[in-house]
């Protein structure tokens, strides 16, 4: 079964639908074989939409015209040619999406879920934590109210960023505000709900340690990316000073990266992202590293539904599975419409058992939301939850509206 084409498809929020920056675009990869079979993958965006889509074209040259069954050989050949691959998130993201789509096709061809291709599932259900739930929350009472709503819907774990627009340094006022937000959420949900504190890799070491020590009192299950990623060696100091476990991994690209962080004592909980760390092929290597160190794994999962479906297949086989990130409860309607085949119920995912990824992509919805628009730049960075960085910031700046109108015109034409 030969691979006929590898295509990157950007889909984006319609011009008339409100969408947070983190959910405004998705990059899908569609692989079509010579006999017309289709497999799907996904790559991350976050101000990388165009570069990743272009990188897919580079990766495609190593796969098109080759037998699907030789996809691993194609990947290894790309390793040889892609000189900067191990440090290029654009290259590894494109490669990841293609690898996911190849496994989707193989699973469908053999009538097996991808978990079976990876050695077999050891679980059929995973506990999820909610992210994205606190949009437009500024006051502690607003965080508390939204947290209670998530718990009522069935979640027993919540992740959130309480730091507002603090970046690099942390003011006394900023630390006081963050502490009040975390305290309000803990009081609202009680001790039986896990709190996960998102730092977004934003602080210099001293600021991170001050924040970590202050928030230790609220017994989080982990603190995520507490220091700027370029200062990662300071994580050793952070771990000595702060009791809460450190989680990270969404910016690490290879199994060797994860091994290095574990060996140097910089991390407790691993958070690989299947869409930028080599898909299933490298995913098995990363899972082996985690198992060798006994490190819990909580996959990063912040983009679209194909990513979720792929991540669930990895969750099924992970010997050290911990928690699964989910934005589904906070997604806009257009993103929900792209895929059917998996469900989030009472704070948990049932892992799809149908062939391949176990999902069906609605190609009519893909075409409806197809776009060539570059990601918008609004009043808040694309990695924050809308309305939490700039107080009561409008969801879209004027430039954002122009981008969306151009996107809408592109789709209509």
pLDDT at 404: 42
Average pLDDT over residues 36-65: 95
Instruction: Check: CB of residue 136 under 8 Å from CB of residue 142.
Output: yes
Average pLDDT over residues 374-401: 69
Span 326-348, pLDDT tens digits: 999 999 899 999 999 999 999 99
> What φ, ψ does residue 296 adopt, rounded to 5°?
-60, 150
**According to the 3-state scheme, what is the secondary structure of the chain?**
CEEEEEEEEEEECCCCCCCCHHHCEEEEEEEEECCCCEEEEEECCCCCHHHHHHHHHHHHCCCCCCEHHHHHHHHHHHHHHCCCHHHCHHHHHHHHHHHHHHHHHHHHHHCCEHHHHCCCCCCCEEEEEECCCCCCCCCHHHHHHHHHHHHHCCCCEEEECCCCCCCECCCHHHHHHHHHHHHHHHHHHCCCCEEEEECCCCECHHHHHHHHHHHHHHCCCEEECCECHHHHHHHHHHHHHCCCCEEECCCCCCHHHHHHHHHCCCCCEECCCCCCCCHHHHHHHHHHHHHHHCCCECCCCCCCHHHHHHHHHHHHHCCCECCEEECHHHCCHHHHCCEECCCEECCEEECCCCCECCCEECHHHHHHCECCCCCCCCCCCCCCCCCCCCCCCCCCCHHHHHHHHHHHHHHHC
Instruction: Check: CB of residue 98 under 8 Å from CB of residue 275.
Output: no
Average pLDDT over residues 210-238: 98
> pTM of the entire structure?
0.94
Q: Is the pLDDT of residue 22 over 80?
A: no
Closest Cα to residue 50, out of 374, 327, 370, 338? Answer: 374
CA of 192: how far to CAs of 54, 188, 220, 221, in Å? 46, 11, 11, 11
Q: CA-CA distance, 181 to 161, in Å (whole number)? A: 9
Q: What is the chain's length?
A: 413
Superfamily of domain 120-356: Enolase-like C-terminal domain (3.20.20.120)
Average pLDDT, the chain: 93
Q: CA-CA distance, 80 to 91, in Å (whole number)? A: 13
Q: CA-CA distance, 104 to 39, in Å (whole number)? A: 5
Q: Is the pLDDT of residue 395 over 80?
A: no
Domain borders along the chain are: 3-115+366-412, 120-356
> What CATH number does domain 3-115+366-412 carry, 2.60.120.380, 3.50.50.60, 1.20.120.610, 3.30.390.10?
3.30.390.10
> What φ, ψ does residue 121 adopt, rounded to 5°?
-70, 145
Q: Is the pLDDT of residue 407 over 80?
A: no
Displacement of CA 61 from its chain's centroid (Å): 26
pLDDT at 379: 86
Residues contacting 239, CB < 8 A, separation 6+ = 246, 265, 266, 268
Greater model confidence, 177 or 411: 177
Active site residues: 200, 300
pLDDT at 397: 39
Span 235-262, pLDDT tens digits: 999 999 999 999 999 999 999 999 999 9
Span 100-148, pLDDT tens digits: 999 999 999 999 999 999 999 999 999 999 999 999 999 999 999 999 9
């Amino acid at each position: 079964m030969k691979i006929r084409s590898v295509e990157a498809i950007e889909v984006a929020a319609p011009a008339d639908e409100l969408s947070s920056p983190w959910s405004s675009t998705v990059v899908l990869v569609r692989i079509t074989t010579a006999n017309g079979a289709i497999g799907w993958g996904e790559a991350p965006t976050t101000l990388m939409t165009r570069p990743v889509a272009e990188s897919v074209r580079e990766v495609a040259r190593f796969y098109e015209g080759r037998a699907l069954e030789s996809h691993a050989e194609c990947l290894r050949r790309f390793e040889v040619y892609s000189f900067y691959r191990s440090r290029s998130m654009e290259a590894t993201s494109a490669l990841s999406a293609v690898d996911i789509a190849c496994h989707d096709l193989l699973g469908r061809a053999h009538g097996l879920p991808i978990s079976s291709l990876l050695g077999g599932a050891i679980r059929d259900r995973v506990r999820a934590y909610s992210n994205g739930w606190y949009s437009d929350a500024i006051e502690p009472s607003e965080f508390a109210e939204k947290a209670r709503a998530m718990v009522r819907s069935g979640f027993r774990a919540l992740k959130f960023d309480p730091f507002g627009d603090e970046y690099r340094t942390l003011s006394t006022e900023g630390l006081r505000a963050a502490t009040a937000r975390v305290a309000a959420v803990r009081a609202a949900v009680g001790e039986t709900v896990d709190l996960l504190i998102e730092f977004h890799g934003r602080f210099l070491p001293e600021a991170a340690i001050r924040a970590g020590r202050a928030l230790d009192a609220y017994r989080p299950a982990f603190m995520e990316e507490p220091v700027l990623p370029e200062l990662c060696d300071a994580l050793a100091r952070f771990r000595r000073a702060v009791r809460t476990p450190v989680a990270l991994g969404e910016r690490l690209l290879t199994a060797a990266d994860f091994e290095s962080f574990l060996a140097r004592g910089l991390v407790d909980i691993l958070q690989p992202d299947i869409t930028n760390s080599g898909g299933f092929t490298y995913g098995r290597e990363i899972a082996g590293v985690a198992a060798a160190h006994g490190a819990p794994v909580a996959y990063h999962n912040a983009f679209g539904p194909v990513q979720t479906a792929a991540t669930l297949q990895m969750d099924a086989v992970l010997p050290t599975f911990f928690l699964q990130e989910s934005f589904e409860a906070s997604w806009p309607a257009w993103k929900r419409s792209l895929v059917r085949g998996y469900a989030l119920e009472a704070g948990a995912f049932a892992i799809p058992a149908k062939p391949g990824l176990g999902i069906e992509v609605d190609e009519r919805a893909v075409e409806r939301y197809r776009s060539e628009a570059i990601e918008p730049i609004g009043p808040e960075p694309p990695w924050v939850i809308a309305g939490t960085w700039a107080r009561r910031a409008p969801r879209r700046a004027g430039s954002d509206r122009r981008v969306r109108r151009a996107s809408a015109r592109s789709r209509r034409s």
